[in-house]
């Protein structure tokens, strides 16, 4: 394999070290990773197969939480907490709001999967087989040395982010602003279609209040997105009533 | 300027006039009339100059080769001998007269600019034919004349008669032109050149391998162009065009082109005895048949059309007995008096508001309405009937004299049979010609009945031209018959005593017989009222003529025939009258022989195309349509299906790439 | 720790998300599956970052920085995506992906509700049933 050969040729010492670590004698971290990984994968499977839409969102919480634990096990603690905050905290809430606003049925819905299921299963299994085969073939000897200082501590991440990644970081704020404006535009258009224009101050107030906080790109972005979603839901809710 | 330069300018000027007229016709209508008349007049002056300089001496030859054209070179060549010089003068003269006449005749016509330009183009093409020393260049002029004739016959294309006539004229002449073209190629292949001088040189040395074949092929084209039997049927119908066009194209010049062509290449025809006999038979049948038909026509212009065919028969008859001097002499005099006849007929039609002789014979005092036309037409009819002092007498007697000369047996290369055929047919035709000329004159100018309508004076441009043409009709024969042999380098053209007495006597007999018949029948006219006049008698002459032609068939049942018991021709012809009126059913024969088979073939082809070929086309379309339907079914609009297919493809490609990269 | 563990887990999660995107009917569930796929990528990024920061003395922490960016962008994406889904739901009365087939040939456009609130409500009831 290309990757494997590249990795092997660049880091011969590590491959030699990795040889000492067989798959049959896992370390404690590996056992923990495996267990959490199994749970995560299982939750993901349930997420995409369950017939209860709200349950899918809740199983998604389990998956994302499991992933946060995996990040911790990989010593990326800042990413882990960001994952918990943003995904588990806001994205899933947002999705639940979406489910409610689109009047997703509570309980089992027989038609949660489309007629495309078997084709999807085939493609997914084929892709999984191909990916796992390639990945295992490429990295079966690669060893991650988790000892020493944490690679993803907040300090290390922060230093890297604000020393080397300042420009993309700022560009990201522009992107979030664009997403904010887009969400407003979408909701305003919906208002124009609605019968009355009475919701205009409500819709414009919510995103602007949230969007006024530019610091902390990820947080403000999530807030803006959630805010716009909330404004949106607000309008559509009233429209649905009217 | 050299004679060559002058000669080049003669056809060039009308051509430039035509181009300018076509370009400026819409934007500057004021220039159209000068652009039509002035080039023709200038050409006339230059043609006279060329004729004076050439003077019947050694032929002027000039040639330039623009570009190599393969094994047989095509050159821009001039060959001006006495024939060419004099015929060019005639063409330019008649063309000038017609252009001047047309300014009055079509003064209100909205399509006058294109009409005048086409007449100029036609004049240019005819002059090119006359002067050309190269057969290919001659053919160019020949075909341009054909297409101009098509457009001009169809000038009143609003009427179905004009449309049908223009198509017929075009198709029939093209029918002759195809063998003509093949004949030209054969001739050039045998002679090794398209130059007339070289062809004639090759003939004199006996280099032609297939003289009969070539002569007969060329004869077909000549028969088409010069309206000789059996390809003459287009000419009577071509009278649906405006009268000046009939005068220029279908009487004086274009139809004479065939005669002129044979006159130029007479040695080629003389090389084949069979061709000369065929030519003689053709001329005889044409002469006699057309004279009979002319006696039965009701439309005044159709009378002249058949008369033209008959006079052309005289010319080809003269050629059949090997006397081109007589042929071109008759061409010149006929060009003058026949142009006059047509132009005068145009004036009469305008004044009477009808083209029907039957209707005219029921009008009193028509001659007082158009005194100019009356006197000039009388002169021209006398010339046509070959009464002694007039020009037609001398030319026709030269033809008959030449034929008589052959019959006496001292001729080289011409069979005596041809001479007898031409002599007998010519004398018979002289009788008939006088008869129909008298009939026309009596019916048109000695009518009895209601007063002719008064439409005021005819335009000066029209009447003056009549007198200008009357002069040569009256005098050219007597003045020229002694000097012309010097130009033509041929035999004496002086009338011989025998044929003069025979011809003139027969003409007088024909005239008197017609007069007697007319006196017996004219009393019937009052009992059979007939007549329809044009709807707009106050319009310009062209409009009146178009309406008269269009109303002839609804009024009388046929374009050529009127059920008039007062017609002396009916009495003279007896049971033959009915057949003569329709041209001896030749059109019906052609219709049965050619038109209907072609139509049936077209129907068959249409069936094959619609039902057979189309089936294959449709069949070819079915498979792609099925494929398209199958592919269209894949377009469900479901995005998930699309993405599934996309990702499946991606997976396959990725696996393939990995397999290739690992060398598996 | 073997790199293969997070890598395989990531691959499996990605394919699970893939299945969800292809098989789910509700647009919001499709969005959830997209989140799954994004998270699988994130896991890969983190794992490789940890591996490379040790073995190659790579100090840029590009994997972790990219993970943060991905999370931010995913948050924005989910906001916009939900707004779109809600707009579609308002217009069409359904958020089912396989009912949005306007691009198919010969499709009768369903169009915005023209029958007033009653018709819209009936359509929504039918969509949710």
What is the number of domains present in chain A?
2
Show the low-confidence residues of chain C (pLDDT under 50). Answer: 108-129
CB contact under 8 A, B648 and A116: no
Tell me what pLDDT residue B200 has. Answer: 85
Instruction: Please check the confidence at residue A241 and state whether its pLDDT lies above 60.
Output: no
Q: Point out the residue among C21, C51, C80 whose CB comes nearest to the CB of A183.
A: C80
Tell me what pLDDT residue B324 has. Answer: 82
pLDDT digits (tens, 9 = 90+) for B30-44: 888 888 888 888 889
CA-angle at B487, arms to B482 and B489, nearest 5°: 95
Closest chain C residue to the Cα of B644, Cα to Cα: C22
What pTM value is reported for the model? 0.64
Q: How far apart are CA C39 and CA C31, in angstroms?
A: 12
Tell me what pLDDT residue A9 has. Answer: 44
Instruction: Return all residues near A34 (Cβ < 8 A) that are at least 6 apart.
Output: A26, C5
Q: How far apart are CA B141 and CA B84, in angstroms?
A: 14
Distance of residue A67 Cα from the nearest chain C Cα, in angstroms: 7
Q: Do A71 and A18 fall within a single domain? A: yes
CB contact under 8 A, C16 and A193: no
Burial state string for B247-274 with b = 16 or more CB within 10 A and e = fewer than 16: bbbbbbbbbbbbbbbbbbbbbbbbbbbe
Q: Do A170 and A134 fall within a single domain? A: no
- Which residues of B are less than 8 Å from A114 in CB distance? 638, 640
Where helices occur in B522-575 by DSSP H, the ranges are 541-556, 568-573
Closest chain A residue to the Cα of C87, Cα to Cα: A190
Q: Point out the residue among B647, B655, B662 whose CB comes nearest to the CB of A123.
A: B647
Q: Do A102 and A19 fall within a single domain? A: yes
Instruction: Please check the confidence at residue A141 and state whether its pLDDT lies above 70.
Output: yes
A105 is in which domain, residue-wise? 1-149
Q: How far apart are CA B226 and CA B239, in angstroms?
A: 15
* DSSP labels, B425-485: HHHHHHHHHHHHHHHHHHHHHS--SEEPP---PPPHHHHHHHHHHHHHHHHHHHHHTTTHH
CB contact under 8 A, C22 and B647: yes
Q: How far apart are CA C50 and CA A9, in angstroms?
A: 19
Question: What CATH number has the domain bearing residue A130?
Answer: 1.20.120.1200
Longest dimension (CA), chain C: 66
CB contact under 8 A, C15 and A70: no
Tell me what pLDDT residue B517 has. Answer: 85
CB contact under 8 A, A222 and C3: no
Whether the bond between B230 and the residue before it is cis, its omega within 30 degrees of 0, is yes
Residue C125 contacts A where some CB pair is shorter than 8 Å: no
Q: Do A36 and A126 fall within a single domain? A: yes
Contact B493, B484 (CB under 8 A): yes
B residues 622-661 near A, CB within 8 Å?
638, 640-641, 644, 647-648, 651, 654-655, 658, 661
- Which residues of A are less than 8 Å from B641 in CB distance? 116, 119
Q: Point out the residue among C23, C97, C104 whose CB comes nearest to the CB of B635.
A: C104
Alpha carbon separation from A201 to B76, B256, C5, C95 (Å, rounded): 93, 99, 51, 27
Q: Point out the residue among A128, A139, A161 whose CB comes nearest to the CB of C4.
A: A139
Instruction: Return all residues near A225 (Cβ < 8 A) that are at least 6 apart.
Output: A90, A94, A176, A179, A180, A183, C75, C76, C78, C79, C80
Tell me what pLDDT residue A207 has. Answer: 41
CB contact under 8 A, B640 and C98: yes
Tally C-beta pairs within 8 A across A and B: 28
Distance of residue B651 Cα from the nearest chain C Cα, in angstroms: 11
CB contact under 8 A, C55 and A156: no
Closest chain C residue to the Cα of A41, Cα to Cα: C13
Residues A51-66, mean pLDDT to the nearest whole number: 90
Decide the pairing of beta strands B450-451 and B363-364. Answer: parallel
Q: Do A14 and A130 fall within a single domain? A: yes
CB contact under 8 A, C79 and A229: yes
Three-state SS annotation for A126-175 = HHHHHHHHHHHHHHCCCECCCCCCCCCCHHHHHHHHHHHCHHHHHHHHHH
Sole residue written with tokens 């292809």 = C22
Terminal Cα-to-Cα distance of chain A (whole angstroms): 62
Q: Point out the residue among A2, A114, A123 whose CB comes nearest to the CB of B648.
A: A123
3 state SS of B241: coil
C residues 39-58 near A, CB within 8 Å?
39, 42-43, 46-47, 49-51, 53-56
Of the residues A114, A149, A184, the one at which a domain ends: A149
Tell me what pLDDT residue A211 has. Answer: 38
C residues 93-122 near A, CB within 8 Å?
95-98, 112, 117
Contact B348, B439 (CB under 8 A): no
Show the low-confidence residues of chain B (pLDDT under 50). Answer: none
- Which residues of B are less than 8 Å from A111 in CB distance? none
Q: How far apart are CA A144 and CA B238, in angstroms?
A: 107
Q: Do A182 and A138 fall within a single domain? A: no
- Which residues of B are less than 8 Å from C96 in CB distance? none
Residue among B143, B643, B556, B634 nearest B358 (CA): B556
Distance of residue A242 Cα from the nearest chain C Cα, in angstroms: 8
> Residue A225 — very low, low, confident or very high, per pLDDT cuts 50/70/90?
very low
CB contact under 8 A, C128 and A136: no
Closest chain C residue to the Cα of A155, Cα to Cα: C61
Q: Spell out which chain A residues touch chain B, with contact meaning CB-CB distance below 8 angstroms.
A: 1-2, 114, 116, 119-120, 122-123, 126-127, 130, 134
- Which residues of A are less than 8 Å from C76 in CB distance? 175-176, 179, 221, 224-225
- Which residues of B are less than 8 Å from C98 in CB distance? 638, 640
Q: Spell out which chain C residues touch chain B, with contact meaning CB-CB distance below 8 angstroms.
A: 18, 21-23, 97-98, 100-105, 107
Percent of chain A with pLDDT over 90: 21
Return the DSSP state at B7: H
CB contact under 8 A, A123 and B661: no
> Residue A197 — very low, low, confident or very high, per pLDDT cuts 50/70/90?
very low
Distance of residue B615 Cα from the nearest chain A Cα, in angstroms: 42
Distance of residue C102 Cα from the nearest chain A Cα, in angstroms: 17
CB contact under 8 A, A127 and B651: yes
Neighbouring chains of A at 3+ CB pairs under 8 Å are B, C
Q: How far apart are CA C78 and CA B642, in angstroms?
A: 22
Q: Point out the residue among C98, C100, C105 whose CB comes nearest to the CB of B632.
A: C105
Decide the pairing of beta strands B363-364 and B76-80. Answer: unpaired
Q: How far apart are CA B76 and CA B135, in angstroms?
A: 10
Q: Do A30 and A79 fall within a single domain? A: yes
Tell me what pLDDT residue A66 has. Answer: 93
> What ipTM does the predicted assembly reach?
0.78
Instruction: Please check the confidence at residue A240 and state whether its pLDDT lies above 70.
Output: no
Q: Point out the residue among B635, B640, B647 whose CB comes nearest to the CB of C105.
A: B635
In a domain, A208, yes or no: yes
Instruction: Please check the confidence at residue A206 and state whether its pLDDT lies above 60.
Output: no
Q: Which of A34-48, A77-91, A110-124, B451-465 has the highest mean pLDDT?
A: A34-48
- Which residues of A are less than 8 Å from C5 in CB distance? 30, 33-34, 37
Tell me what pLDDT residue C67 has. Answer: 92
Contact A173, A214 (CB under 8 A): yes
Of the residues A107, A122, A149, the one at which a domain ends: A149
Q: Point out the residue among C25, C43, C85 whose CB comes nearest to the CB of A114.
A: C25
Tell me what pLDDT residue B532 has. Answer: 62
Q: Do A131 and A176 fall within a single domain? A: no
Q: How far apart are CA B37 and CA B112, in angstroms?
A: 13
| Mean pLDDT, rounded, of chain A | 73
Q: Do A32 and A136 fall within a single domain? A: yes
Instruction: Please check the confidence at residue A10 and state whether its pLDDT lies above 50.
Output: no
Domains contained in chain C, CATH given:
4-128 (1.10.287.3510)
Closest chain C residue to the Cα of B651, Cα to Cα: C15
In a domain, A160, yes or no: no
In a domain, A71, yes or no: yes
Which one of A38, A46, A48 makes the best mutation probe of the C interface by having the most chain C beta carbons within 10 Å? A48
Distance of residue B606 Cα from the nearest chain A Cα, in angstroms: 54
In a domain, A159, yes or no: no
CB contact under 8 A, A182 and C83: yes
Q: Do A140 and A201 fall within a single domain? A: no
CB contact under 8 A, C101 and B635: no
Distance of residue A120 Cα from the nearest chain B Cα, in angstroms: 6
Instruction: Please check the confidence at residue A213 and state whether its pLDDT lies above 70.
Output: no
Tell me what pLDDT residue B531 has. Answer: 62
Tell me what pLDDT residue B84 has. Answer: 85
């Amino acid at each position: 394999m290309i990757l494997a050969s590249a990795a092997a040729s660049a880091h011969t010492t590590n491959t030699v070290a990795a040889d000492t670590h067989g798959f049959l004698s896992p370390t404690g971290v590996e056992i923990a990773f495996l267990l959490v990984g199994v749970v995560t994968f299982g939750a993901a499977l349930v997420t995409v197969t369950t017939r209860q839409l709200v349950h899918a969102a809740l199983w998604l919480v389990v998956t994302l939480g499991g992933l946060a634990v995996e990040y911790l096990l990989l010593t990326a603690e800042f990413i882990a907490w960001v994952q918990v905050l943003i995904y588990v905290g806001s994205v899933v809430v947002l999705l639940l709001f979406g489910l409610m606003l689109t009047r997703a049925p509570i309980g089992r819905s027989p038609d949660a999967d489309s007629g495309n299921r078997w084709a999807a299963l085939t493609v997914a299994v084929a892709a999984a087989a191909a990916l796992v085969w390639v990945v295992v073939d490429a990295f079966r000897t690669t060893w991650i040395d988790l000892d020493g200082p944490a690679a993803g501590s907040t300090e290390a991440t922060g230093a890297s982010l604000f020393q080397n990644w300042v420009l993309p970081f700022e560009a990201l704020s522009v992107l979030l602003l664009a997403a904010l404006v887009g969400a407003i535009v979408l909701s305003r258009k919906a208002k124009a279609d609605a019968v009355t224009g009475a919701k205009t101050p409500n819709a414009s107030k919510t995103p602007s209040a949230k969007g006024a906080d530019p610091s902390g790109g990820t947080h403000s972005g999530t807030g803006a997105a959630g805010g716009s979603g909330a404004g949106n839901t607000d309008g559509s809710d009233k429209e649905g009533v009217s | 300027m050299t004679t060559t330069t002058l000669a080049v300018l003669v056809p060039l000027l009308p051509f430039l006039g035509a181009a300018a007229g076509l370009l400026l016709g819409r934007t500057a209508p004021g220039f159209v009339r000068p652009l039509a008349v002035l080039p023709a007049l200038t050409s006339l002056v230059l043609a006279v100059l060329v004729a004076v300089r050439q003077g019947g001496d050694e032929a002027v030859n000039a040639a330039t080769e623009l570009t190599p054209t393969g094994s047989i070179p095509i050159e821009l060549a001039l060959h001006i001998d006495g024939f060419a010089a004099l015929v060019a003068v005639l063409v330019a003269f008649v063309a000038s007269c017609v252009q001047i006449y047309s300014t009055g005749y079509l003064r209100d016509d909205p399509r006058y600019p294109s009409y005048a330009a086409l007449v100029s183009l036609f004049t240019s093409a005819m002059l090119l034919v006359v002067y050309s020393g190269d057969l290919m260049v001659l053919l160019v002029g020949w075909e341009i004349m054909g297409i101009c004739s098509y457009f001009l016959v169809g000038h009143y294309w609003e009427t179905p008669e004009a449309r049908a006539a223009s198509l017929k004229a075009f198709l029939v002449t093209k029918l002759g032109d195809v063998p003509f073209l093949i004949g030209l190629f054969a001739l050039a292949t045998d002679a090794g050149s398209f130059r007339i001088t070289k062809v004639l040189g090759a003939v004199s040395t006996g280099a032609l391998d297939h003289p009969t074949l070539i002569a007969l092929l060329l004869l077909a084209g000549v028969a088409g162009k010069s309206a000789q039997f059996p390809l003459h049927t287009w000419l009577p119908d071509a009278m649906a065009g405006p009268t000046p066009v009939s005068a220029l194209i279908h009487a004086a010049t274009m139809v004479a082109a065939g005669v002129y062509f044979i006159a130029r290449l007479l040695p080629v025809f003389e090389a084949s005895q069979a061709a000369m006999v065929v030519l003689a038979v053709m001329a005889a049948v044409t002469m006699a048949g057309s004279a009979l038909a002319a006696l039965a026509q009701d439309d005044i212009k159709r009378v002249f059309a058949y008369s033209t065919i008959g006079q052309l028969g005289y010319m080809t008859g003269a050629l059949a007995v090997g006397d081109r001097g007589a042929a071109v002499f008759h061409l010149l005099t006929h060009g003058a008096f026949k142009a006059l006849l047509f132009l005068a007929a145009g004036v009469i039609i305008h004044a009477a508001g009808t083209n029907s002789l039957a209707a005219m014979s029921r009008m009193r005092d028509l001659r007082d309405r158009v005194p100019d036309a009356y006197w000039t037409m009388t002169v021209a009819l006398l010339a046509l009937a070959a009464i002694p002092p007039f020009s037609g007498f001398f030319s026709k007697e030269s033809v008959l004299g030449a034929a008589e000369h052959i019959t006496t047996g001292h001729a080289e290369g011409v069979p005596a049979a041809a001479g007898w055929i031409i002599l007998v047919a010519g004398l018979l035709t002289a009788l008939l010609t006088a008869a129909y000329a008298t009939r026309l004159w009596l019916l048109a100018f000695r009518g009895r009945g209601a007063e002719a309508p008064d439409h005021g004076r005819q335009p000066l441009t029209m009447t003056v031209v009549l007198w200008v043409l009357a002069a040569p009709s009256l005098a050219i024969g007597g003045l020229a018959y002694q000097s012309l042999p010097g130009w033509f380098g041929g035999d004496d053209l002086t009338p011989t005593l025998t044929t003069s007495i025979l011809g003139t006597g027969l003409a007088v007999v024909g005239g008197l017989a017609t007069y007697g018949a007319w006196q017996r029948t004219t009393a019937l006219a009052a009992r059979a009222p007939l007549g329809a006049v044009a709807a707009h008698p106050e319009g310009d002459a062209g409009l009146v003529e178009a309406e008269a032609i269009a109303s002839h068939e609804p009024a009388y049942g046929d374009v050529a025939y009127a059920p008039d018991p007062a017609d002396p021709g009916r009495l003279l012809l007896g049971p033959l009258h009915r057949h003569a009126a329709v041209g001896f059913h030749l059109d019906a024969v052609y219709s049965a022989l050619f038109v209907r088979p072609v139509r049936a073939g077209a129907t068959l082809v249409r069936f094959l195309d619609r039902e057979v070929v189309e089936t294959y086309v449709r069949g070819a379309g079915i498979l792609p349509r099925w494929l398209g339907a199958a592919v269209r079914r894949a377009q469900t609009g479901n995005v998930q299906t699309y993405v599934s297919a996309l990702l499946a493809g991606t997976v396959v490609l990725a696996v393939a790439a990995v397999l290739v990269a690992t060398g598996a | 720790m073997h790199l293969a563990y997070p890598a395989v887990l990531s691959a499996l999660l990605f394919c699970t998300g893939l299945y969800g995107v292809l098989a789910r009917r509700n647009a919001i569930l499709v969005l959830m599956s997209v989140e799954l796929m994004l998270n699988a990528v994130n896991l890969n990024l983190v794992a490789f970052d940890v591996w490379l920061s040790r073995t190659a003395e790579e100090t840029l922490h590009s994997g972790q920085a990219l993970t943060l960016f991905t999370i931010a962008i995913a948050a924005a994406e989910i906001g916009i995506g939900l707004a779109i889904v809600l707009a579609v739901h308002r217009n069409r009365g359904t958020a089912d992906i396989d009912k949005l087939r306007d691009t198919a040939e010969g499709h009768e456009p369903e169009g915005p509700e023209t029958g007033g609130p009653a018709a819209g409500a009936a359509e929504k009831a039918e969509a949710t049933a």
